[in-house]
Structure 1
C-alpha cells in the first residue's frame, strides 16, 4: 500500500522508477519495512487465498478516485469521517511549502513508474455531524442535519470550527480546539447545523488554496466522493464556497471502484483496462455556484478569523501576565491552594460559632 508507506516515511522518492524502501527510525523490523507492492499486481501465492489478491489500495489513494487522477484532471476530494483531497503531480514528487503531504498515489505495475500526489487531510468532516447527534443531541439522525440546514438557509453569522483534536492541513496546529462563534440570541440549532456543514466546505477550500499555491494548477471543478456527498446541501455549499462546480459521481464510493479496477487490471487477470481512453465516463450530478464571489470571499474571511480564535487553547507553556512574564501563581504548589482554602474554611466556621455564642449569652441577660 504505497500511500500508507509514504505517510510513515518508509519510501525513498528519489528513484524515478518508483519508491524504494528505506529504514526510518521507527523501530520497524526489516520485514515490515520491505514488504510492499504496486497498486496493480497479483499477490504472492502463499496468502492462503484460493484467488490471489490483484490490487492493493489505501482507502484515500484508491487510484485517487479512479479515472480523475489517471486522466490528470481535477482534484478528487473524499468526504467521510474526515476529508482527503489529492492532486496528482505525476511521476515526480512535489514537496509542499503550504502544509500538505507529499504521498504516493499509485503504481500501475512493478515495471511502471509510481505516480505521486499532494494530499491535504481534514480531521473532522462527517464526524461533526455525529457530534451534533451524539454529543449535543440536536438531531436524532445524521440525515436530519441536511433538513435543518435547508430550513435555515444561512448560518446567521455563526461559524463552527470543529477542531476537536487540533487542526490538520494546512495548519497542523495541535493546540487548536473546537469553537462556535458569532452566536446571538436568535441563533438556533438550524443555524448551527448549517454552520457545521459550512465548516466542512471551508476546510476543503483551505486545502485547495494550498494546492493551488504549491502546484499552480487552476481548478475548474471539484470531483467528490464518499458518504457525505449524499447531502445535497453540503454539495451546494461546497460549490458556493469554492466558486467552481462540484461534480458528484452516481456511485459515491468510487474508492471501492478504484480498488476493483486495480485488481481487475493485474497481470494474469486482465478484465479491466486502465488506459484512460478505454475508461467509460461515469454518470455525474453537477452542482453550480449560486452565490457571487464577493459573498463567498466574505464568508471565507470570517471563517479564517474564527480559525485563528480556535488556536492556542491547549498549551504546555506557563501562564503569563500582561508583560509576558510568568505569573507568580503558576509557581505555587497545588498543596498551597488546598491548605489555604481549608484554613479559610475553618476560620469562617470558627467565626460563626463565636458569633452564635455571643448572641446566646446576650439573650440570657
Structure 2
C-alpha cells in the first residue's frame, strides 16, 4: 500500500502518512533482471513476479486486450491494458502486470478476484459429503446436465469483485422437490462461471472493447464440463493450454529473458505457441442471458444478509458484531479512514 503504480516507485506522501521512513524500503526493480548472486548454490536471482502476473506472462498475454483467468481456490482474472493504467468504474483493481526489464516499459492490467471457486468443491466434499473426490463433481453434474433451476451463490465470506460486499452470504435458491445432489453439483460449477462472467462484463465496460476469447489455467481447468459451461455462459471461446501450470511457466519465461541471461526472447514472434484446446459456446445467447439474469437475481438475495444488529451466541448472550470476519471490519475501517483523509486533502489515493 506504499507503492505508486504511476511513478513506479514508493509514494512519498503515503510513506509520510503511514510514518514509514523511505530509506528502509528496498530499491524497486523490474520483474525481469539480475538482482544478485546466491553463494550456495551458485545461481542468479533474476526474476520476481506475483502468481497472477506470472500466469499472464505464461499465457503469453503480451498484447493489450488479452486476458486470462486462473481457477484455483478462488478465481483471478487479469486483462492486459498496455502501457496505460485503466482506472475502473466497475469494481475492479488497477495493477502493474509486469515490467520485463530495467529499461522496458511497465505493462498494466485490470484485475478481478472471486473468493470461492475451487473452494466450493472442497465445501461440497467436506461439509456436505456429496462427493469423495474433486473428479466426482464433474461426473455428478454431467449426469443431469442442468441445475434444474437451482442457483448457488457461494458467498461464504462476502462477495469480492465487482461487488466488494462483505455482508453477503451464501445461498442456494430455486429448489424444488425434484432437486437432488447432482443438480446442486451442476449449480456449483455454474456459480464459478457466473462469477467469472460478472468480472468479464466489468472489464468489457471499463475497457470499451469486448473480449473475444478467454485464456484459462489452474487446477479446475481439468474439469471439461466446467470449461464448456464457461464458454456457454460467456458466449465466447475458452482456450485451455496443454500445460496448465502457466504460473510456473511465466516465472521461468521472465527469468530466462532477463538481460545478462537471455536464454530466450519474449517477443511474440519468437515464442513457439503452446498447444491448446478451445471450447466453443454450444448454447444460444438467449439461453445464456436468461440463466445469467437468474443468477444476478440470486446474488441480490444474498446481499446485506449480515448486519451489526445484536445476535445471540446460543447461550443467551448477545453481541453487536455479526459473523462477518474481523478482517473485513479492519479493512473497512482503514479504507474509511484513508477516504476521510483524502476528502480532507491530507492523503492521495
Shared fold, TM over 0.5: yes
Moved more, 227-236 or 266-275: 266-275
Residue 228 in structure 1 maps to residue 223 in structure 2: no
Residue 175 in structure 1 maps to residue 167 in structure 2: yes
Residue 200 in structure 1 maps to residue 192 in structure 2: yes
Taking structure 1 as reference, are residues 213 and 55 closer, same or farther at Cα in structure 2, changes over 3 Å only? same
Structure 2 residue aligned with 1:219, among 211, 219, 229? 211
1:43 maps to 35
1:257 maps to 249
Once residues 29 and 142 of structure 1 are traced to their aligned partners in structure 2, the CA distance between those partners, rounded to angstroms, is 48
1:281 maps to 273
Richer in helix (by share):
1
Unaligned residue ranges in structure 1 (runs of 5+): 1-8, 320-332, 336-365
* Matched pairs, number: 312
Taking structure 1 as reference, are residues 51 and 334 closer, same or farther at Cα in structure 2, changes over 3 Å only? closer
> Would you say the 8 A contact 1:59–1:255 is kept in 2?
yes
1:21 maps to 10
> Would you say the 8 A contact 2:10–2:22 is kept in 1?
no
> For 1:294-348, what per-residue CA distance to the aligned partner results, in whole angstroms no more than 9, with x for missing partners?
00000000000000111111111569xxxxxxxxxxxxx969xxxxxxxxxxxxx
Once residues 32 and 204 of structure 1 are traced to their aligned partners in structure 2, the CA distance between those partners, rounded to angstroms, is 39
Once residues 23 and 180 of structure 2 are traced to their aligned partners in structure 1, the CA distance between those partners, rounded to angstroms, is 55
Unaligned residue ranges in structure 2 (runs of 5+): 319-349
> For 1:67-126, what per-residue CA distance to the aligned partner results, in whole angstroms no more than 9, with x for missing partners?
542133531111111101111111121110000000110001111111110000001100
> For 1:39-89, what per-residue CA distance to the aligned partner results, in whole angstroms no more than 9, with x for missing partners?
111122367652122111100111614354213353111111110111111
Once residues 317 and 48 of structure 1 are traced to their aligned partners in structure 2, the CA distance between those partners, rounded to angstroms, is 58
Residue 95 in structure 1 maps to residue 87 in structure 2: yes
Taking structure 1 as reference, are residues 82 and 28 closer, same or farther at Cα in structure 2, changes over 3 Å only? farther
Displacement after TM superposition at 1:37 (Å): 2.4
Structure 1 residue aligned with 2:302, among 310, 315, 319? 310
Richer in strand (by share):
2
**What TM-score, normalized to structure 1?**
0.81
Displacement after TM superposition at 1:250 (Å): 0.3
2:155 maps to 163
Displacement after TM superposition at 1:36 (Å): 3.7
Larger radius of gyration: 1
> Would you say the 8 A contact 2:68–2:77 is kept in 1?
yes
